Amino acid sequence: MNNYKLTESEEKFAELIWQNEPIGSGDLVKLCEQEMHWKKSTTYTVLKKLSEKGIFQNENLVVSSLITKDAYNAKQSIRFVEDTFGGSLPKFLTAFIGGKKLSDQQAEELKRLIDTHKEV
């Protein structure tokens, strides 16, 4: 899943799989028809596309993920910081925090995260 950004409809489709996996491909077709008003062919086309991207698999008529939702979101967050802030986490945090004040608890949590991930 190298730098792949899901479209809005792919994201909704992925969410259905993540929430219901493992799911039989027939049940996924029914779910997509119900939730997204997709035809069987659309479901299989999108599933094939996302399987080729290494996000999902359809083994023995059972669909499951190859990457978790959290892992996908983490990759997209990294991509966003790289694309928008030149990969600079301090620039991202400055923009994210803006003029807001951090609570003592938030500041301590950030310090712990920094200490945990600091290069030695």
pLDDT value, residue 118 = 85
pLDDT of residue 100: 86
**Which has the closest alpha carbon to 93: 80, 74, 76?**
80
For 8-69, the fitting CATH number among 1.20.210.10, 2.20.28.10, 1.10.1740.10, 1.10.10.10 is 1.10.10.10
Higher-confidence position of 119 and 32: 32
Report yes or no: 55 and 4 within 8 Å, Cβ to Cβ. yes
Pairwise CA distance, residues 118 & 110, whole Å: 12
Mean pLDDT within 71-89: 91
Largest CA distance in the chain: 54
Q: How far is CA 5 from CA 100, 110, 112, in A?
A: 30, 28, 30
Ranges for all domains in the chain classified under CATH 1.10.10.10: 8-69
Query: Averaged over 7-35, what is the pLDDT?
Result: 97
Does the predicted model carry a pTM greater than 0.75? yes
The neighbour count for residue 107, using CB atoms within 10 Å, is 11
